[in-house]
Amino acid sequence: MSSIGKSINQFINEQQNKTDSNSDDLSGLIADIASACKKIAHLVNRSAITGIGGASASENVQGEVQKKLDIITNDVMVEQLNHHGHLAAMISEEIEDIIQIPEHLPKGKYLIAFDPLDGSSNIDINISVGTIFSILRCTDASREVRSDDFLQAGTEQICAGFCVYGPTTMMILTTGNGVNGFTLDSEIDEFVLTHPDMTIPEDAAEFAVNISNQRLWETSVQRYIDECIQGVDGDREKNFNMRWVASMVSDVYRILIRGGIFLYPLDTKSANSSGKLRLMYEANPMSFIVEQAGGLSTTGYQRIMDIKPTDLHQRVPVILGSKNEVERIMRYHQEDK
Ligand code: AHM
Ligand code: MG
């Protein structure tokens, strides 16, 4: 029987029952995340009316000016997720330190890393933004959670997902058993399954990159993008199209729907030449989703999910999407080594 139209809670409960009878609180945690995302969708949607668009007076841990909505949506995530006893602690792209669960509240066995409002520089121009999250297991929740509890490779994730606040609000989710997409039905205020078993085509002819950084990339990336631009007039067998929303959730969503390659590669302008995107909040969850949908995700040299993190806010180069295109650029990195 088709699962289309099932609510996200119903779907996750059924999936978990099949695989792990001990995972009730993962379904509960996903339900809390879905509630937080519904609230964020509403806030984003009304931000121009309520006056919460625009910059705040503060900077985040990476020294970037925070949007008011970065701070507000961070608080929504914390408040929605901290009181049902599913989590041992949280980390957020917007907050320097670990967010511990207050002592008077119950603690659970999971850890979550989230970017509450990815692509927030797009808010003022009414382009899609999103929330990204990654769930890990906490090995010892009996004491205060430390950084090293979070510093697990992406392969240890047990669930990852993202929400896109676009023309429709969607949640994309994996628990390591494929990728499913849910659309927020505003009539019933529920995420319902609309995109079961999302898979990324192995071949594609669309690339997404901020081309203004071209002069700062490594030769292997320059070569790959040059060849895409030259298309059949150069060394490629097809012509390519370019799309760059500058909102990772939208760019990755597009790749899940029709394939393509997304790059935020190493460049010489980023601190320590490490790329822009954050391993724990963006690269790992997106890599888990992309791999579960049949795609690949790499720094160019290494599978992203194999990286052992050393810092909660570390950045990495990200190249992900359709298998054959990602393999090609990995080959170029090897050749240039
Ligand atoms: P953010 O977390 O501060 O919003 O930054 C991440 C975003 C991604 O969504 C997007 O892919 C990238 O930054 C866009 O960067 P650029 O402005 O260089 O095009
Ligand atoms: Mg982000």
| CA-closest residue to ligand 1 atom 14 | 246
> Is the ipTM reported for this complex over the cut 0.90?
yes
| CA-closest residue to ligand 1 atom 17 | 246
Q: Provide DSSP, 273-313.
A: G--SEEIIIIIHHHHHHHHHTT-EEESSSSBGGG---SSTT
| CA-closest residue to ligand 1 atom 19 | 246
Please work out whether the CB of residue 246 comes within 6 Å of at least one atom of ligand 1. yes
Q: Is 220 annotated as a binding residue?
A: no
Measured from the Cβ of residue 19, the count of other Cβ atoms closer than 10 Å reads 11
Measured from the Cβ of residue 197, the count of other Cβ atoms closer than 10 Å reads 11
Cα–ligand 2 centroid distance for 103 (angstroms): 29
Please work out whether the CB of residue 120 comes within 6 Å of at least one atom of ligand 1. yes
Nearest CA to 309 out of 282, 329, 335, 328 is that of 282
Atom of ligand 1 nearest to the CA of 213: 18
pLDDT of residue 1: 47
Helices (H), strands (E): how many in the chain?
9, 17
Distance of alpha carbon 231 from alpha carbon 212, whole angstroms: 20
Q: What is the mean pLDDT of each run of 10 residues along the chain (337 residues)?
A: 83 76 78 97 93 73 78 96 95 96 94 96 93 96 94 98 97 97 96 98 98 95 98 98 98 98 89 84 98 98 98 97 98 92
pLDDT of residue 271: 58
Instruction: Kindly state the helix (H) or strand (E) to which residue 112 belongs, with its residue range.
Output: strand 110-118
| CA-closest residue to ligand 1 atom 12 | 246
Q: Is 282 annotated as a binding residue?
A: yes
Cα–ligand 1 centroid distance for 248 (angstroms): 7
Please work out whether the CB of residue 70 comes within 6 Å of at least one atom of ligand 1. no
Please work out whether the CB of residue 291 comes within 6 Å of at least one atom of ligand 1. no
Indicate the burial class of 189 (C-beta count within 10 angstroms; 0-12, 13-18, 19 or more).
exposed
pLDDT of residue 268: 81
Q: Is 190 annotated as a binding residue?
A: no
Residue type, 79: E
Please work out whether the CB of residue 267 comes within 6 Å of at least one atom of ligand 1. no
pLDDT of residue 272: 63
Atom of ligand 1 nearest to the CA of 130: 9
Ligand 1 binding pocket mutation candidate from 65, 115, 210 (most atoms within 8 A of CB):
210
Nearest CA to 256 out of 169, 193, 173 is that of 173
Please work out whether the CB of residue 168 comes within 6 Å of at least one atom of ligand 1. no
Tell me the ligand closest to 114's alpha carbon: 2
Decide: 1 and 127 in contact? Cβ < 8 Å: no
Cα–ligand 1 centroid distance for 17 (angstroms): 37
Scan for tokens 């430390």, then name that residue: 146
Please work out whether the CB of residue 248 comes within 6 Å of at least one atom of ligand 1. yes
- Give the pTM: 0.95
